Amino acid sequence: MNNVFVYCEIDEGQIADVSLELLTKGRSLANTLGCKLEAVVLGHALKGIEKEIAPYGVDVIHVADDQRLFPYLTLPHSSILVQLFQEEKPQIALFGASVIGRDLAPRVSSALKSGLTADCTSLIIGDHYDKKTDTNYENLLYQIRPAFGGNIIATIINPDHRPQLATVREGVMKKEIYDPAYKTKVRTLDPKNYLSETDFAVSIIERHIEDRKINIKNGQIIIAGGYGVGSKENFRLLFDLAEVIGAEVGGSRAAVDAGFVEHERQIGQTGITVRPKLYIACGISGQIQHRAGMDQSAQIISINTDINAPINRIADYTIVGDVADVIPKMIQYYKENSK
Amino acid sequence: MNGFKIIVLAKQVPDTRNVGKDAMKADGTVNRGALPAIFNPEDLNALEIALRIKDRYPGTTVTVLSMGPGRAAEIIREALYRGADHGVLLTDRKFAGSDTLATSYALSMAIRKMSPYHLIVAGRQAIDGDTAQVGPQVAEKLGLPQVTYAEEVLSVDEQSITIKRRLERGVEVVKAPLPTVITVHSSAPDCRPRNAKYLMKFKHARTITELQDSSEDYIELYKDRPYLDIKEWSVADVEADSDWLGLSGSPTKVKKIENVVFTAKESKILNDSNDDISGLMKELINNHTLG
């Protein structure tokens, strides 16, 4: 009772990275609260799955293994979670802010009439005093996220309802093994006790999932372009530089929206979070939503025609100039000076 | 088949994508009042999905439901100009401060009042919050299935609808029974523009409040053209319980709002001269940042 729960997503037969990241966060929240960390895994052919999860410091793993639970469908997964949460009464439940998590968590939140905060960038435990009712709340989950187009940072709480529900995007939290030999308890759920025929009203007819071909999350050097790059053609320059120095290419939301670069490369609060050793921001103004996805980069170079662009304030180097002039020179001088 | 009855959920939002210099206050924070109010982009994709069904199945009606202040009637008119048939504005001071759960409760009560219906179509998320919660929560409140991240309706008949969904790294085709709730992703086709014929037809469409505030006398016009009436519903009209609405009916509370203030770090300023860039590249190679 009153533990921290993480819903674990299955991706290509393994626990998704975002879920492992949440387990790491969940472990630290559970340590602060002095409670247990529990994981929920719903899918098919899950034998041995606990070995993947336990090292993250998971005390209890709830597993429902049934061929109808994979691929993911909204209704069966939400029916199991809602009933399980009613039985186990978690104080906190975390979901990845993925297509699955963003489909599932609101449904669960509505059924349990408890609040949900989407796309949190930070989760911490804190107290709250409500003046109106003169009530002191201890150990609430502060759900912190940028809001209003990233122009404000909001701290959201859920004082009177449980579980406190939050989603977090992949890459926002760090995944870290807690103890390779951590002792866990596996609890097998019998799907029959949780599901009815009406949960299978929606059926999957076809599914095409591509392998991850773009993997910028773990890139050591990232060159990212914004709206200021100006065109899809100019974006080619970023790829040229990337090839020469061995980097990945990303884009801001504005660049993705403008069609300069694929959605899979979007960096920021509603995209991927990266922590490279070098981040080269090309024509990116640097709204907080973008910075939320890259401000932990070890070094930042900003190339921008506007010396007052907000991104320059977190940059180690600011090159005042046009991307189309600067990048070819970077390529040239890298080639001349390397080796 | 006599067509489908489709409800499109739409929201008027501040255009947070384009926070220009005019919208910035002297202290560097955003002046929300200065942002233009627009039709939430993915709700336009949702409207297009509904209109395409209407194109294929004569007799289909598309009703736009929006919750918001009086001026949100603007987006309902916009939807009528593009091909929607009716509009309903859910508006009441008691809705103010509602979180996603309270909002979905209010919408679900309005939808109940509009039954029977075949489909509820909404944008995946609104750009002022990016939460993507209201669609699934409405579905849960109504006890209906949901299909999120929809990109295209492949087929629809009296019993079921087949939909292509956009996933992170692929697509999925699902079949759902009717009625169902669909949320539409921005990768779906853009909404068609205004149609000149509909613009003429609905130019004077107004809510009752707008009529009362107007200096012009439309009473005669409205007697002959009932379709010009944009319905305005309050909490009482949809028989909603105020305990579940507004600030007090919302489980989530905003504890703190901080305006974003930049803390500047020391930045070396270079220009695009050959010397500066050559120097930078040498430095990055020498300190092993670049291989």
pLDDT digits (tens, 9 = 90+) for A37-74: 999 999 999 999 999 999 999 999 999 999 999 999 99
Residues of A in contact with B260 (CB under 8 A): 146, 150-153, 288
In a domain, B195, yes or no: yes
Question: Would you state the pLDDT for residue B38?
Answer: 95
Query: Is the CB of A149 less than 8 angstroms away from the CB of B271?
Result: no
**Structure tokens that stand for B171 in this block:** 């697509």
The reported pLDDT for the residue numbered B212 is 86
Verify that A225 and A193 share a domain, yes or no: no
Q: Is residue A215 part of a domain?
A: no
Q: Which residues does chain A have within 8 Å of residue B101's beta carbon, measured at their own beta carbons?
A: 109-110, 113, 115-116
In a domain, B50, yes or no: yes
B273 vs B30, residue with greater confidence: B273
A336 and B162 within 8 Å at the Cβ level: the answer is: no
Question: Which pLDDT tens digit goes with each residue over B149-206?
Answer: 999 999 999 999 999 999 988 899 999 999 999 999 998 999 999 999 999 999 999 9
| ipTM of the complex model | 0.89
Whether residue B113 lies inside any domain: the answer is yes
On whether both A230 and A95 belong to a single domain, the answer is no
Q: Any idea which residue has 């609101």 for tokens? A: A106
Structure-token pair, residue A55: 């090292």
In a domain, A216, yes or no: no
Q: How far apart are CA B28 and CA A193, in angstroms?
A: 56
Question: Touching check for B190 and chain A: CB below 8 Å?
Answer: no
Integer angstrom CA distances of residue A297 from A165, A228, A248, B73: 29, 21, 14, 45
Kindly determine whether residue B130 and residue A288, on different chains, have CB atoms separated by under 8 Å: no
Domain annotation covers residue B260: no
User: Do A107 and A249 have their domain in common?
Assistant: no
Among the candidates A139, A169, A200, a domain finishes at A200
Residue A213 lies in a domain: no
Where is the domain boundary, A200, A229, A244? A200
Nearest to residue A166, comparing CAs of A37, A1, A7, A2? A7
- Sign for the pseudo-dihedral over CA of B117, B133, A291, B27: positive
Taking the CA of residue B214 and the nearest CA in chain A, the distance in Å comes to: 32
Q: Flag whether A64 is in a domain.
A: yes
B30 inside 8 A of chain A by CB: yes
pLDDT of residue B61: 98
Residue A38 counted as domain residue? yes
Mean pLDDT across B255-278: 81
Of all residues in chain A, the one with the smallest CA distance to B258 is A153
pLDDT of residue B29: 58
Phi, psi of A32 (to 5 degrees): -60, -40
* pLDDT surpassing 70 at residue B262: no
Residue-level pLDDT at B27: 59
Considering the domain boundaries, does residue A238 fall inside one? yes
Q: Is A113 helix (H, G, I), strand (E, B) or coil?
A: coil
Query: B155 CB near a chain A CB, below 8 Å?
Result: no
Q: How confident is the model at residue B147 (pLDDT cuts 50, 70, 90)?
A: very high
CATH number of the structural domain spanning residue A98: 3.40.50.620
Beta strands in chain A (DSSP E): 4-8, 10-11, 14-15, 37-43, 60-65, 92-96, 116-117, 122-130, 135-147, 152-157, 164-168, 185-188, 203-209, 221-225, 248-251, 278-282, 299-304, 317-320
Question: Does A318 reside within a domain?
Answer: yes
Domain count, chain B: 1
Where in the sequence is the domain holding A283, given as residue range(s)? 221-337
pLDDT bin (cut points 50, 70, 90) of residue B260 is low
Token pair for B21 = 């210099």
Residue B198 confidence (pLDDT)? 98
Centroid of chain to Cα B266: 41
Mean pLDDT calculated for residue range B15-20: 69
B203 touches chain A (CB under 8 A): no
- Considering the domain architecture, whether residues A89 and A187 belong to the same structural domain is answered as yes
- pLDDT of the residue at B30: 59
CA distances for B259 relative to A148, A207, A288, angstroms? 10, 43, 11
> Band of the pLDDT at A339, cuts 50, 70, 90?
low
Share of chain B above pLDDT 70, in %: 92
What tens digit of pLDDT does each residue of A160-216 get?
A: 999 999 999 988 898 999 999 999 999 999 999 999 999 999 999 999 988 766 778
Residue B35 has pLDDT above 90, yes or no: no
Give me the DSSP letters along A82-103: HHHHHHH--SEEEEESSHHHHH
Residues of A in contact with B180 (CB under 8 A): 202
Residue A328 forms contact with B (CB below 8 Å): no
Q: Which residue of A has its CA nearest to B165?
A: A207
Q: How far apart are CA A108 and CA A90, in angstroms?
A: 13
B102, part of any domain: yes
- CATH code of the domain containing A295: 3.40.50.1220
Same domain membership, residue A32 and residue A144: yes
Q: How many CB pairs under 8 A join A and B?
A: 242
Is B288 inside a domain boundary? no
Instruction: Tell me what the mean pLDDT of segment A240-264 comes to.
Output: 92
pLDDT tens digits along A105-122:
999 999 999 999 999 999
Calculate how close chain A gets to B24, using CA atoms only, in Å. 10
Residue that terminates a domain, selected from A140, A167, A200: A200
Retrieve residue B159's tokens: 């019993």
Amino acid identity of B77? R
What total number of domains does chain A contain?
Answer: 2
Tens of pLDDT, residue by residue over A320-337, are 999 999 999 999 999 998
Residues of A in contact with B99 (CB under 8 A): 115
- More confident of the two residues B33 and A226: A226
Question: What pLDDT score does B73 carry?
Answer: 97
Q: Indicate the average pLDDT of chain A.
A: 94
pLDDT the model gives residue A153: 86
Residue A32 DSSP one-character state: H
Among A119, A205, A337, beta carbon nearest to B282:
A337
Mean pLDDT, rounded, for A131-150? 90
- Residue A5 contacts B, CB cutoff 8 Å: no
CB contact under 8 A, B145 and A75: yes
State residue B193's pLDDT score. 97
pLDDT value of residue A287: 87
- Asked if B260 reaches chain A (Cβ–Cβ under 8 Å), the answer is yes
Are the beta carbons of B130 and A270 separated by less than 8 Å? yes
Average pLDDT for B56-72: 96
**Residues of chain B with pLDDT > 90: what percent?**
73
A124 and A179 both lie in a single domain? yes
B134-142 and A99-112 helices cross at what angle (nearest 10)? 50
Nearest CA in chain A to B170: A209
CATH number at residue B100: 3.40.50.620
Residue B266 falls inside a structural domain: no
Tell me whether residues B140 and A201 touch, CB distance under 8 A: no
Residue ranges making up the domain that contains B200: 5-244
Q: CB-CB: which of B174, B258, B268 is closest to A316? A: B268
In chain B, residues with a C-beta closer than 8 Å to the C-beta of A78 are 140
Q: Are residues A271 and A175 in the same domain?
A: no
What band does A157 get if pLDDT is binned at 50, 70 and 90?
very high
Residue A9, both tokens: 């997503």
pLDDT for res A209: 87
Is A8 inside a domain boundary? yes
Instruction: Name every chain A residue with its beta carbon within 8 A of the beta carbon of B156.
Output: none
pLDDT surpassing 70 at residue B141:
yes
Inter-chain touch B17–A254, beta carbons under 8 Å: yes
Which whole number is the average pLDDT over B117-144? 96
Q: Are A196 and A225 contained in the same domain?
A: no
